[in-house]
Amino acid sequence: MALVELNHVRREFDGGRIVALAGVSLAIEPGETMAIVGPSGSGKSTLLNLLCGLDHPTSGEVKFEGRPVNDRTDWRRIRARHVGIVFQSFCLLPELTARENIEVAIAGNIRDSERRERSLELLNAVGLSGRADQRPPQMSGGERQRVAIARALINRPRLVLADEPTGNLDQANGRHVLELLMNVVSSKGAALVMITHEAAIAAFCGRRLVLVDGQVASDSHA
């Protein structure tokens, strides 16, 4: 059974004047890694948002683990428990420390000691064990993105979505973060869907989906 499935999904904006996605169908399997590539305005971010319920289709159907999901409350529950998101702009809360930024994403009622243990373990995994009490403004872009990756993994998600995770980083930092993301995701057995503009980065993934004008131009496996 596919982890996430899109069936004939169409997403329009501005009363139909803008068509971001025009009938896209695809399935993402557990543990799969997929790169979504395409020019600006091709619908990549819209597709990513639809995969986790941050946006809703104008028509068509989105299924998570075989069940159609239409309700925003259901999507929030799914995002909290099964989906980790890494944003291009990190989306960290500036007033919180690195550890707190990770713990803020923890779903469910768990003990403080376990929260701390899990967040420190992930900070260690992304190489930031000594920066737990630093706040985002005190950190470099690469460090922030590593915190964001740790946050995305805190609930042991089945699906990790990354929107140009290296887009705001220099080449060396970007490569390091990417390797880290791939390693951590594969070690946790999660599926990864990543938007990127760069072919070199897309080459890290086992599957490559090319979007053009809101339609799947090609969908290939390595």
Partner 1 sequence: MRKFQLAVHHIVGRPLRSVLTVIGIAIACAGSLSVTGLIQGVQDSLEQGMEEPGVDFIVGERASFSLVGGSIPESLGPKLAEVAGVSDVSGVLFNVETVDNSANVVVSGWPRDSFLWKSLDLTGGRIPAAGENRSIVLGQSIAGALKKTVGDEIDIRFTKFKIVGIARFSSYLNQNIVLIPLDALQEFLSRRDSVTFFQIRLARPIDPERAAQVKTGLTAAAGNFAVFDNGEFTSDIRLIGIIRAIAETISVIMLGLALLLVATTLLMAVNERTYEIGVLAALGWSDFGILSLIVLEGVLMTAVGAAMGVGLGMGVMQVASQSSLAAGYLRPFITLALVVRTVTLTIAIGTLGALYPAWRATRLDPAEALRRQ
Q: Which of 82, 64, 83, 76 is nearest to 5 (CA)?
A: 64
Nearest approach, Cβ of residue 215 and partner 1 (Å): 21
Indicate whether 22 belongs to the interface with partner 1 (CB under 8 A).
no
Q: Which of 34, 35, 83, 192 binds partner 1 (CB under 8 A)?
A: 83
Tokens encoding 161: 């979505």
CA torsion angle for 150, 152, 158, 161 (degrees, to 10)? -120
Indicate whether 80 belongs to the interface with partner 1 (CB under 8 A).
yes
Q: Which of 18, 27, 93, 110 binds partner 1 (CB under 8 A)?
A: 93
User: Based on CB atoms, which residue is closest to partner 1, 5 or 103?
Assistant: 103
Inter-residue contact 47 to 36 (CB < 8 Å): yes
Exposed e or buried b per residue across 10-19, where buried means at least 16 C-beta atoms within 10 angstroms of its C-beta: bbbeeeeeeb
Indicate whether 151 belongs to the interface with partner 1 (CB under 8 A).
yes
Indicate whether 49 belongs to the interface with partner 1 (CB under 8 A).
yes
Nearest approach, Cβ of residue 130 and partner 1 (Å): 20
Cα 86 to Cα 163: distance, rounded to the nearest angstrom: 6
Binding-site ranges for partner 1 (CB under 8 A): 49, 52, 54-55, 73, 76-81, 83, 85, 87, 89, 91, 93, 95-96, 100-101, 103-107, 112, 115, 151, 155
